[in-house]
Structure 1
Amino acid sequence: IAGTVGIMFLCSGVQVNLWIKRIALTSIVWIPALYLLGNYALNPYQKARFSVFLDPFNDPQKDGFQLVNSFIGIASGGLNGRGLGNSVQKYGYLPEPQTDFIMAIISEELGFIGVAIILICLLLIIIRSFRVAQKCTDPFGSLIAIGIASLFGVQTFINVGGMSGVIPLTGVPLPFVSYGGSSLLANLLAMGILLNIASHVKRQEKQQNGLMKEKEQNGPHLVVVK
């Protein structure tokens, strides 16, 4: 949510340099606050996510068990994968593989090619969403389209990054792929709103094209002054 709001905030036309200066000036407050939050407010399992991110093989049988088995699934897939339905990690090795770690199973079964196809499809949705936002003349509709595109992009990055060990695990599902009714419902609602904005943009383009054709057909009018 913070990433989505941040991208919408930057795209809303605010003065970025001014806010960078404000954040830098207030760093004397929020940096110690983050330190205290990380040391005293976080639960042990939350702290374990950061330690696992730094070195998952330090405790491969407990805290790092899920991430290590995710690495094994990704590495064993290779280029083409083991074949659809032939994953080994989903049978008791990788806990809850159908949710946050579904991409590790896809990588094991379909390989690098299958993962690339899914990521390209998600990237196309994100790019098209930004194009809809760019063409939309209504500022409110444009910001909503930017928010939806950012939501899909941030979720994809956090899920794939956590599964591959690039960033700490957060439990964010992969849009349209991970198991979960509430997540799928939210994504479908977002797509419905985005399609509504896109249809509104197309109607506006048709109206503008129609007006341009009428002007071209009518041509210039000569006014005779007596």
Structure 2
Amino acid sequence: MTSELNQSERLREEILKDAKKKAEEIINNAKNEAEAVLISAQAQAEKIKKEIMDSAYKEAERKSELILATVPVEIARFKATHIESLLDSIYQEAYNRLQNLEGIDYTEVLINLAADAINKMAGDIFNIKISWVGFNLDGDFLAQEVANRIDRPVTVTISEETNIMGPGIIIEDNEGRQIWDNRLTERLRRLWPALRRKIAIDIGLAM
């Protein structure tokens, strides 16, 4: 009886020992698998992190290239705007000075304007229309001086026109078929496209 009990006890101990061993193996295997999973997860996380960072760097580089590509365009646009603004201010200053006749010998200017126009017109009889408002002008003197500066015999008459806006003259031939508007501001408007290009080149602002 005692022998059987001892055998049963030894068998129980062996079973427990074997079970404990298997349990330890299972635990160790689980630890190893967990560590492998953790290592794999860390590696995957690093990979994902690297991919995200690479993508971010590429996007930042792309945006930087786009920004840099627009710099010359923006510079050109700024330069063009600056040039236009400067030329507009020059035009406005010239317009105001002509309108106000600043530093201008008006009688001499009228004679030159009329002679320049008539020398380019056909015919030999011309009427010069002038607004005399605010000016003390001698019509006979003007007519004679203009005729003296024409390279052919012509008849010139002067008429006062109160409805003419701005300083300068308007010349018509005898039949009214040729009309030359040589008011100072109108002349500036006609000449401005060529003048603005020359001014831009002269001051080094030509695009």
**Which has the greater radius of gyration?**
2
Q: Which has the higher strand share?
A: 2
**TM-score by structure 1 length?**
0.20
**TM-score by structure 2 length?**
0.21
